[in-house]
Amino acid sequence: MESVFGLVGKDFAIVVADTSAVHSILVHKTNEDKIMVLDSHKLMGASGETGDRAQFTEYIQKNVALYQFRNGIPLTTAAAANFTRGELATALRKNPYMVNIILAGYDKETGPSLYYIDYIASLHKLDKAAFGYGSYFALSMMDRHYRRNMTVDEAIELVDKCIMEIRTRLVIAPPNFVIKIVDKDGAREFAWRESIKDAPVPTLA
């Protein structure tokens, strides 16, 4: 089961996701990136049905880009979150997307923010959020150690504690995680935490 979690620090927000693509008992790949970069200052970490996840996050990404093309300015994080909720809510009673989303962004005027959007389109702005079986461990670790206005180093320390807990205590724990950060300089990949590397592609000697 996929784990996604995120938290807000001082002038930045972090989203962490596991990177295993699983079908039944088979692990297809261990380096699947589940955190979509929506635009220069937004991250969307998603967990759930694989096809829905890939399709829906790409759909949101393209619509966020379209808004910027049409209007010349980017969406705020709150607006992107409410748009995402609206799309999920409209689809809910027709053909629901089974995707849980953690949307993190940085706005010049309001700073960093994090939005929890579950698959039935419940939206809430939070400082820390998590989805999946890993959430039982990540949320408890964050409840214990999270403070407001943490530095990047402190936040990464907390993220590593959460990852350790998930690896130790979850029976089918995902081996690898990707960490992405968004701050005033933009949204980017921060680090990977790997305990299993995919077999390297053999090259001709």
Binding stretches for other proteins (CB under 8 A): 85, 89, 92-93, 116, 118, 120-124, 126, 129, 135-136, 139
Residue closer to other proteins (CB basis): 33 or 87? 87
Minimum CB separation from other proteins for residue 102, in Å? 12
Residue closer to other proteins (CB basis): 140 or 195? 140
What are 179's strand-pairing partners? 16, 191
Residue closer to other proteins (CB basis): 77 or 135? 135
Q: Taking the CB of residue 112, how many other CB atoms lie within 10 A of it?
A: 23
Contacts of 194 (CB under 8 A, 6+ apart): 30, 175, 176, 177
Residue closer to other proteins (CB basis): 75 or 187? 75
Report how far residue 21's alpha carbon sits from residue 10's, in angstroms, rounded to the nearest whole number.
Answer: 32
Q: Is 166 helix (H, G, I), strand (E, B) or coil?
A: helix
Residue closer to other proteins (CB basis): 121 or 178? 121
Minimum CB separation from other proteins for residue 118, in Å? 7
Residue closer to other proteins (CB basis): 60 or 121? 121
Minimum CB separation from other proteins for residue 54, in Å? 23
Q: Would you list the DSSP string of 107-153?
A: ETTTEEEEEEE-TT--EEEESEEEESTHHHHHHHHHHHH--TT--HH
Minimum CB separation from other proteins for residue 178, in Å? 23
**Burial of 78: CB neighbours in 10 Å, binned 0-12, 13-18, 19+:** middle
> Measured on CA atoms in the order 37, 46, 181, 148, is the torsion positive or negative?
positive
Minimum CB separation from other proteins for residue 122, in Å? 4
Minimum CB separation from other proteins for residue 141, in Å? 14
CB 162 within 8 A of CB 136: no
